[in-house]
Structure 1
Amino acid sequence: MTWSLALTLAYRLSMVATAAFILSRMPALGRILSRQLTPRDKLLLTLALGGMGIVGTYAAVPIHGALANSRVVGVMVAGLLGGPLVGAGAGLIAGIHRYLLGGFTAFSCALAAVAEGALGGLVQHYYRRGPIPWHVALLAGLAGETLQMAIILATARPFGEAWALVQIIGPPMIIVNSIGVAIFMVIVKTAAEQRERIAACQAQQALRIATQTLPFLRHGLNRESAEQTARIIYNSVKLAAVAITNGQEILAHVGRGDDHHHPGTPILTSATLKALATGEVQVAQTRDEIGCQEKNCRLASAVVVPLKRREVTIGTLKLYHDRAEAVERVAGLLQAKRHRIKKLPVEKNGEIRLLDYQDIIFGRAKDGSVQIVTASDTCTYTGSMTELEARLNSEGFLRVHKSFLVNLNQVQGVLPWFKGTYWLVMGDPKKTQIPVSKSQLKELKSILGLEAS
């Protein structure tokens, strides 16, 4: 009976894979695994996995007036993903439902559901090395189901029936449900890793585009630099057309519609005007919103991205599509990029670390590599100095010298030197002094509010 029961429970664990797949499609998955849940995320996770616990009860096998079930999978996962409150909350939902079904183990199973959810939450709270791995989830599941059997023996009466029940359902429930918890966490973690790989490819493409366009944009936003930049983006991304404007007119248009979207034409698109006014990404989802007067124009939608210099909007980048529905996904990706965690991956003693941008004092090119200096350490960035500049240029950093990129918020002093040159005193413990190249001196003075010499 014991192993046939185990097989029956295993067959019914298909709901684990289904629930894990559904959770892996949730937009909040990244916040869940990075432990940055909002109150709304916690509420939804509690309700969803509490509901999964209820489904696990309905999928149970009746045994001697009790139920051999997979309820623990939902409530344990709730704790492992959301912490003690989420786990206990999901356990409370599933537990109240089980109590209302009755039976001599009703109270015991309800109490065990809350306890197991809280136990999963404690494992999440004390495991600080990232998402819970499958082997930790497996051990947590084993501990949780063992705890449930102990609670049944301690609170269910008559004791003889409780003991007989635990002998039958204990081994299969402990083994199968623990594996179920581990499988759930594996599916969720695998889905998250796939998202990260896709995001990394997108980030790599964006970085490649930024690296290629940076030399042109260094000379300012004019027709020549806009034309070169738009053409690079058009050749790198599958779009109907790419356009760049300043605050008043089109500077460049590459792709479909270039026979009538001419440089020098005043801005007509309302989304472009709004992007210039608000500094936020805008979407034009119809031809009317694009505002083109050409009847045969095939541009159906556009995403308009503000171009900023030191937080001041100086123009727009317009990504056109020939299908109206195409902009929905692009707009979502662009908005998601605005909320991306601002961390820089670096290496130290073979270990990958993620540094907050604000903790970086300066980067320097030395001996063929790029070193990142913080207040407490020096690490290595695997990319080039140009790639680092493209990544940090809009975050308050300035490349003051071909070998140095500095965090302007970490500059503690400016030392005038010979022949109108300057050195910056940085905020690291060594008070490192960094030379400023003549080509960057004017911009640095403008940013820091220094008088021209």
Structure 2
Amino acid sequence: MVNLIPLMIERVGVILIVVFLLSQSKTFRQIIHRDQGVKDKVILIAIFGLFGVISNYTGIQIHSNSAAENSWLIGIEPDSAIANTRIMGIAIGSLLGGPIVGLGIGVIAGVHRFFLGGFTAAACAISAVLAGAAAGWFGLSRRKKNVITPAFAVGIGMLMEMTQMGIILLVTRPFDPAWDLVKVIGIPMVAVNGLGMLLFMLIIQYILREQERAKVLQTSKAFYIADRTLPFFRQGLNQESCREVAVIMLQLTDADAIAITDSEGVLAHVGAASDHHVPTKGFSTELTKKVLREGRVLTAKSREEILCRHKPCPLRAAVVLPLMVHNKTVGTLKLYFNNPSDLTEVEKELAEGLANLFSTQLELAEAEQQSKLLKNAEIKALQAQVHPHFLFNAINTISVLCRTNPEKARKLLLELSQFFRSNLQGARQILIPLEKEIEHVKAYLSLEQARFPDKYEVLFEIEQGLEKSHVPPFILQPLVENSIRHAFSRTRIKGEVMVKVYSDEHFLHIEVSDNGKGIPPEKLELLGKEAVESRHGTGTALVNIRERLTGIYNKEALFEIKSRKETGTEIAISIPLEKKGAWDYHDDSIYSR
């Protein structure tokens, strides 16, 4: 029995070498990291079924209770059996793929074991199928809780191996040879397969951790580049700013050349092929034209695909990404490589992330430019008041999450993008759909609640059918922000904010109420009518909202603030339901997109 252990460890080593080589495969890593579809499950069944077959072939033949040295088992004598690592591959594949995958792996490994022969062939085949189904079921229940640990996997592997020993004793006849066999192979197979499960799971965990580290580094790198390029993108798309951005990107990425274009021509090209890829009207590659037309990411892995007309061009690969402003392609970001193998999936994902960030920065730049031209001074003042501190707080929160929870950081970055996109769209319109204003509020809340989890709760009660009703932008979000910032400061109670929207025959009513500390009577009378100095603000947002309501609705809108100390505050807005002539003086710009 003791002599069997080193021979079994050798077999485990063979399987683990195959696993390590397989772990370098991009396809295998993707399957391990994501929820599996039908195709992924079939691949898992094939891979781990093959492990089971290899384990059968590399098993150690046991004859007359002694281990026989062999390198590759083609067949087993009728009175012999084998000690192998079959259960290890079955259990790991089942834990990763679930019961259906486990059953498939078990059938492949079990049928193959049956046809190899030996007096335990039937028992081993049955145990393989049962082990696959059982381990898959255990794995499914644990994966829902995201708690498949190496210790759990080792326990399942040893349990399945002990179950196999029990099935051999129950099924194999005569009983005495089966019992003698189990005494010889039982402890070594349970122990060594448990060790193999541990090493196997450590490799799987390494794959997952490596991908998480890559995501964190990639996100951190993208934020760093975005931070360095922000001052230049704020100047818009021009030759000077784009050249500075391209130089920074060339230094911080593995690309051999960086180019940035607008919709009419190349604004900057730095790095390889600068002799003929020069800032000019028009484009030197057909690939860029195609991205501008279609608004999607395109890659090229050869000079022919890049479609550069200059024959000595050293560029052999490229990823071209659209720069979008308000869902319109205004330019492209291009990363070129001299060696096609340098254009990895990591580089492509980094480029896509940067293109999204740059698009947001361009939208911010455009908003800054448009704000200078806006005739509506109230909206401009409201934007200037609300967002600088919020932006810095949000970026700080996301930068921390990049290290601790990159997936949540990614989602918050999308929410930040949505928040500012809504903000920019609202700055160009007099009225927007209510649902857009609510989206704006929810994007703001997701970012604030990431900073202060469980400090407050915001509830929405929206009458069905009012989502498409038009309201002025920036009337709901400042009210919710006021409740969060002012109502619950220096209090220990959990804050509750209720946003309620309903209608009657003539008006659409918006109410924002909280259970905060309330407003002192001496300030309540002035709020919304004039600025009120305090530690946390001036009340300018409320004045702004009241004045815009008056201007848009010809004094038909109502704005009311009710508050009781230590009880809470309610702000109610009533605006006329849409009707012919209500906003005629604003012309068609009301509904501009």
AA of the residue aligned to 1:109: C
Please name the residue that 1:44 is paired with: 43
Partner SS, residue 261 of structure 1:
coil
Paired residues of 1:244 and 1:252 also in contact (CA < 8 A): yes
Which of 206, 216, 235 aligns to 1:190? It is: 206
Specify the alignment match of 1:114 in structure 2: 129
Kept in 1: contact 2:337–2:343 (CA 8 A) = no
TM-score, normalization by structure 1? 0.77
Structure 2 residue 109 is the aligned partner of structure 1 residue 94? yes
1:334 aligns with 2:348: yes
Gaps of 5+ in 1: 343-361, 373-379, 442-448
Larger fraction in strand: 1
Does the 8 Å contact 2:394/2:416 carry over to 1? no
**Which amino acid in 2 is paired with 1:62?**
Q
In structure 2, distance between residues paired with 1:363 and 1:147: 63
CA distance in 1, matches of 2:439, 2:14: 50
User: 1:39: Cα distance to partner?
Assistant: 1.1
1:54-85, Cα deviation, whole Å (9 max, x unpaired) = 11111112224111111111111111111111
Q: For residue 125 of structure 1, what is the aligned residue in structure 2? A: 140
Cα distance in 2, alignment partners of residues 173 and 296 from structure 1? 63
Alignment of 1:158-307 (within 5 A): 158-294=174-310, 297-307=313-323
**Alignment partners' CA distance in 2, 1:124 and 1:173:** 22
Cα pair 2:287 2:307 within 8 Å, conserved: no
Alignment of structure 1 residues 401-412 onto 2, 5 Å = 408=440, 410=442
Task: Measure how far apart 1:338 and its partner are.
Answer: 6.6
Task: Provide, for residues 282-326 of structure 1, a one-character-per-residue CA deviation record: whole Å limited to 9, x for no partner.
Answer: 233444544545565433432211212233222111112233x24
CA deviation digits over 1:207-237, x for unaligned, max 9?
A: 2112222343344333333223222212222
SS at match of 1:125: helix
Matches within 5 A, 1:408-419: 408=440, 410=442
| Partner residue, 1:147 | 163
Segment of structure 1 superposing worse, 292-301 or 3-12: 292-301
Q: Determine the C-alpha separation between the residues in 2 that align with 1:27 and 1:135.
A: 27
- Contact 1:133 1:186 survives alignment (8 Å): no
Question: Per the alignment, in what secondary structure is the counterpart of residue 42 of structure 2?
Answer: helix
Distance in structure 2 (CA, Å) of the matches to 1:394 and 1:369: 11
CA contact (8 A) 1:283 1:303 kept: yes
Give the secondary-structure state (helix, strand or coil) at the position aligned to 1:397: helix
Cα distance in structure 2, aligned partners of 1:298 and 1:58: 51
Contact kept? 1:397, 1:406, Cα under 8 Å: no
Name the counterpart of 2:458. Answer: none
Q: Which runs of 5+ in 2 are unaligned?
A: 64-79, 357-385, 403-408, 425-436, 444-466, 482-495, 500-511, 514-539, 549-588
Are residues 142 and 161 of structure 1, via their aligned partners in 2, closer, same or farther at CA, if it must alter by over 3 Å?
same
Q: Using the TM superposition, give the Cα deviation of residue 171 of structure 1 relative to its aligned residue in structure 2, in angstroms.
A: 0.8
Deviations 1:95-125 (A, max 9, x none): 0011112222111100100111122212211
Alignment correspondent of 2:26: 27
Comparing 264-273 with 176-185, greater Cα deviation is found at 264-273
Whole-angstrom CA distance in 1 between matches of 2:153 and 2:208? 17
User: What TM-score comes out, normalization by structure 2 length?
Assistant: 0.60
Equivalent residue, structure 1, for 2:576: none
**Alpha-carbon displacement from aligned partner over 1:142-191 (angstroms, at most 9, x marks no partner):** 11111111111111111122111111111111111111112111112113
Larger Rg: 2
Name the % identity: 33
Structure 2 residue 330 is matched with structure 1 residue 311: no
Give the superposition deviation at 1:34. 4.2
Aligned pair count reads: 404
Say if 1:363 and 1:78 are closer, same or farther in 2 by CA, change over 3 A.
Answer: farther
Question: Is the contact made by 2:285 and 2:309 (CA closer than 8 Å) also made in structure 1?
Answer: no
Change (3 A) 1:394 1:223: farther
